[in-house]
Structure 1
Amino acid sequence: MDRTITIGTRGSDLALWQANFVKAELAKINVNTKLKIIKTQGDNILNLRLDKLEGKGFFTKELEEQLLDGSIDLAVHSHKDLPTKNPEGLIIAAVSDREDPSEIIIILKDCVDATKKLSVKHNGTVGTSSNRRQSQLHAIRPDLEFENLRGNVPTRIQKLRDEKYDAIIMAKAGVSRLNIDLSEFYVEEIEPTAEMVPSPAQGVLAIQIRENDNDLFEILQHINNKEVAEQIGVERKVLNLFDGGCHMPLGCYCEKDEEGIFHTWTTKSLDQDEFPDRLYYTSNTTEGLAEKILAKFDISNRKIPKSIFISRELSEYSYFRKALEKHQIKIEDRSLIRTVPTIHKLDSYILKQIDWIFFSSKNGIEYFFKLEPLLPKDVKFGVVGRGSEDSLKNLGKSVSFVGESSDTAEVAKEFAEIANGKTVLFPMAKDSLKSIQKELSVETKIIELVIYETILEENVAQSFSDVLVFTSPSNVEAYFEENLLEPGQQVVSIGKSTGQKFDEMGVKYILPASPDEIGLAEVVFGIDVL
């Protein structure tokens, strides 16, 4: 191409990084470019929350106007800032690779409480201008206070440094792209499938051009990531169908696995103070996927469960309990097992030589620390599930590995990558399945410590709830020793190890994305009563 392409961009450090990234990508295919900095409404109004600004596209409108009048040829946007519909005459010609879409919570070091979820001190003040973030944070930490946070990435971090907040939350992508040193703070990452579902298209750049600029469109296909475009297309379609803008408390994240299955997490609430609904949905295709997700959130037109049985006792603060009670779903929570310790003293010599301690359950954590172990200072902890992570955090322990998949084989492979060749202690139940140990290499020293035994309750009463949720293989054994499924009852298994019991029985079951209360809430919300 002989002509020099004018790239329009906002003037913030992050926007300039993004524009220069596209400039460099185009230079690789011998396209000449120059930058033009344009101020937007969002740059000029810094004293209001994002949801108080009128209209949509307040970070993009001025760039789009200059595209339409020919002042620039190409605009680079953070895709999540774009309205779901392009102005007439404009199109998104290409999208970038996806930067990590996780959120990070950045905390002043004297405001850290390692016993709390996300490590912010009790009643801490968190800076954010996002209703989506506030809604999801408030659901897991109702004690937190929220204050408006505006400005570019360095400005926001400086406001934290000036102690205007105890913590702030923002997209990891912006910090990563600017290579900002956060060593003076405590930083915790929230993965996109965990407590914080990101904004649709978070971490992706959108390259916008005039619809009739065919030559430029063809050139941009050389830097277009079609796979990312397909996945964020689902996220953006969900946003469009909900008629949402930047202020809507909606998160959506879609990823494609190696088998070609699309996994989508969606969270939505009416406002930043309402407990959000979360949905996990899988599909072999993106065709019609957004529409199916939308239909699941329209609970007025489908039959959701009226009652749920779960094989564990829930506290009044339980995420799962709050998610169900929001929709007046009756909860029958009772454990069908009890546990007893098998040892009352630890061999101190064993503890001196370990590098890792891996827990597969909260019971293992409870019984192990009742023994008051004297541990090496540099010992690391690994767990299955965020529930076990919370149990360790409540004891003031930092967790180095969290297996978040409901498939223990996947968790085992992930743990093996970092623990092979080390000495790993497994405090466990008698007759444990030893799923994690099976994936460790022969060079890894495995120490198995049976510290408790599970005893099945007898004469377990039948449940007539619409959905039965089982949280361990032992609970499955105890229940079906005396009972059968009622017609129409549906079964949820917290993980594949528990699900193996149903496989043996020939019973169909639903598997959550993660073996914890958020994962269970996601799948139960999506169940239609037969």
Structure 2
Amino acid sequence: MQRTIIIGTRGSELALWQANHVKDELAAVGVEAEIRIIKTQGDSFINLTFSKLVGKGFFTKELEDELLAGSIDLAVHSHKDLPTEQPPGLVIAAVSQREEPFEVLLIHPDGVDITRQFSLRERAIVGSSSARRRSQLLAYRPDIELSDIRGNVPTRVQKLRDGEYDAILLAKAGLKRLQVDLSGLHVEELAPQEIVPAAAQGVLALQIREEDTELAKILEKIHHPEVKDTIRVEREVLHLFEGGCRMPIGAYCVKENGEYLVWVSRAGNDDDYPVRYHTRAYDTEGLARRIVDKYLKKEKAIKSVFITREVSEDSYFYRALSKQGLEITGSSMIRTFPVITTFSSSILKRVDWIFFSSRNAVDYFFRLKPLIPKKTKIGVMGRGSESELRENGREPAFVGTSADTARVAREFSREAAGTTVLFPAAKDSLRAIQRELGNDIRIIDLPIYETVANEDADASGADVLIFTSPSNVEAYLGPYLIDAHQKVIAIGKSTGQKLEEFGVSNYLVPYSPDEVGLAEIVFELV
């Protein structure tokens, strides 16, 4: 007689969805299962925040006790809720496919302000009890107020609708699995490169007794080894930091073209400024240890940073590097001025998209007071351009998040296939995006500003030089040289190509062409 697997789960709507999902997957491979609900410590203290709950595994311990006692055969957990060490006698026999590990900012209509980052109004009250989410969101938006929130996913969404918060921050996985009604709410999806998720977020862990080799063999049929491969790095980082699910630590690993890309965010507490790190490797052996050692390193290899743009002390870049005790200076090596003061808005009726490759392009274009049709979509090269666009009252339909212009062009080509795109840009622009677009996209170039070298700008003796555009490279390396001790960063590949024209080949490029990406890559050098 075939064995019926007893699945243990919490009784929340999301936990039951997860258990039923596993039950259905087992049924698909010819294995019967039934579900048993078990109440956990985390379910018993619904009015306490996570920081008030003592110990680890308060959503999992009772399930594990029942598993060890033999009253259930299989416990289904959100993998991110599990302690990094398994109790003696238990193992994770399989993991699920990974749901997108995005965070989602749900905003009440009264809390929306599209001119601000994440469309969140100034001094908004945001509900979240996750120390990791709180520390990272405050780093972007120090003006907002974070407020604790408890309850299951539908309960939290209802609290938002009732006006208890201006916004709440939740995992996309839970919202998608429960198909929560989000009508009437403004939705901002935050990619793992913006808000680094919890280790193993979006993954289900299937836990069994170590001795149950029969069930282990069955679960191999629904196991996803490629997911286990990447989340192992994330959970090892968490383990080496001795952090549980309540610690303000985010870790995300993804494999692209045979290479492991890892992002980590770590803060001392949920009010502390997080230090972010991004690295890549072709082998995971020792990778987590190298990441943690970077954080624990006492001696700094660099002390000063110069960037070829003005730097505000309120900016993410300045605050992130100041947190590490670095001296930051910034000055543009170029001056810009308009080359046109008006243009016929009739051209805008012929285009489907407008694409901006820089903040300057956005600034000079909107100085022309264009009448943009509602149907026209806007794309931007990075988050810096997005910020400038929002200040002008528009939201982008596409944001490039890679410093690789060819990659951004490929992604944009999929969005803009078969359309006409207007490119407001600098006179004599390198046209890095345009050159990579598909043949089915019609391109209209619109030179709107020009750059010239700033004759008053001086060379810098800083340990690190960051170049933010090809024109800044040209203006700096025309009259000046880079000293042998100086490290060089190019904000993107087109800027790097300009460095190579001047004989500079030893430079670094961040993953994303924005302040966050630049802060991450500076930490690589610290």
**Alignment TM-score, normalising by the size of structure 2:** 0.98
Contact 2:331 2:457 in 1 (8 A): no
> Across the two proteins, how many residue pairs are aligned to each other?
525
State the shift of 1:304 in Å: 3.8
Residue matched to 2:519? 521
C-alpha distance in 1, partners of 2:192/2:438? 30
Contact 1:304 1:525 in 2 (8 A): no
Q: Name which of 281, 305, 330 aligns with 1:333.
A: 330
Residue matched to 2:275? 277
Contact 2:56 2:244 in 1 (8 A): yes
Contact 1:111 1:120 in 2 (8 A): yes
CA shift digits 1:18-67 (9 cap, x unpaired): 00111111111111111000010101101111011000000000000000
State the shift of 1:2 in Å: 1.6
C-alpha distance in 2, partners of 1:278/1:514? 13
Residue 526 of structure 1 aligns to a residue whose secondary structure is: helix
Cα RMSD after superposing both structures: 1.1
Residue matched to 2:367? 370
TM alignment of 1:118-157, pairs within 5 A: 118-157=118-157
Contact 1:9 1:75 in 2 (8 A): yes
State the shift of 1:183 in Å: 1.4
C-alpha distance in 1, partners of 2:506/2:57? 46
Tell me if 1:397 matches 2:394. Answer: yes
C-alpha distance in 1, partners of 2:459/2:422? 38
Residue matched to 1:171? 171
C-alpha distance in 1, partners of 2:9/2:431? 54
Tell me if 1:224 matches 2:195. Answer: no
Q: Name which of 450, 474, 496 aligns with 1:453.
A: 450
Residue 367 of structure 1 aligns to a residue whose secondary structure is: helix
C-alpha distance in 1, partners of 2:512/2:245? 27
C-alpha distance in 1, partners of 2:439/2:508? 35
CA shift digits 1:284-306 (9 cap, x unpaired): 11110000000111131x42421
CA shift digits 1:433-478 (9 cap, x unpaired): 1122223333322111100111122375221111111100111111
CA shift digits 1:167-225 (9 cap, x unpaired): 1000000000111120121110000012x100000000000000110111111111111
C-alpha distance in 1, partners of 2:454/2:389? 27
Matched AA of 1:361? S
Q: Name which of 239, 260, 263 aligns with 1:262.
A: 260
Kindly, what percent of the aligned residue pairs are identical? 56
Residue matched to 1:211? 210
C-alpha distance in 2, partners of 1:306/1:289? 26
Tell me if 1:359 matches 2:356. Answer: yes
Contact 1:460 1:478 in 2 (8 A): no
C-alpha distance in 2, partners of 1:460/1:164? 51
Contact 2:10 2:37 in 1 (8 A): yes
Q: Name which of 465, 468, 471 aligns with 1:468.
A: 465
C-alpha distance in 1, partners of 2:437/2:243? 46
Residue matched to 2:406? 409
C-alpha distance in 2, partners of 1:408/1:442? 17
Q: Name which of 420, 425, 430 aligns with 1:423.
A: 420
State the shift of 1:422 in Å: 1.1
State the shift of 1:274 in Å: 0.9
Residue matched to 1:289? 287
Contact 1:353 1:423 in 2 (8 A): yes
Residue matched to 1:503? 500
Contact 2:332 2:457 in 1 (8 A): no
Matched AA of 1:274? D
C-alpha distance in 1, partners of 2:133/2:504? 41
Residue 227 of structure 1 aligns to a residue whose secondary structure is: helix
Contact 1:459 1:482 in 2 (8 A): no
C-alpha distance in 1, partners of 2:35/2:197? 29
**Alignment TM-score, normalising by the size of structure 1:** 0.97
State the shift of 1:502 in Å: 2.5
CA shift digits 1:392-417 (9 cap, x unpaired): 11111011000010000000011111
Matched AA of 1:445? R
C-alpha distance in 1, partners of 2:521/2:497? 18
C-alpha distance in 2, partners of 1:161/1:348? 40
State the shift of 1:506 in Å: 4.1
Contact 1:50 1:130 in 2 (8 A): yes
Residue 525 of structure 2 aligns to a residue whose secondary structure is: coil
C-alpha distance in 2, partners of 1:443/1:192? 31
CA shift digits 1:94-128 (9 cap, x unpaired): 00010000000001112101111111111110000
Contact 2:405 2:433 in 1 (8 A): yes
Tell me if 1:78 matches 2:78. Answer: yes
C-alpha distance in 2, partners of 1:285/1:84? 21
Contact 1:100 1:172 in 2 (8 A): yes
Residue 447 of structure 1 aligns to a residue whose secondary structure is: strand
C-alpha distance in 2, partners of 1:151/1:180? 14
Residue 143 of structure 1 aligns to a residue whose secondary structure is: coil
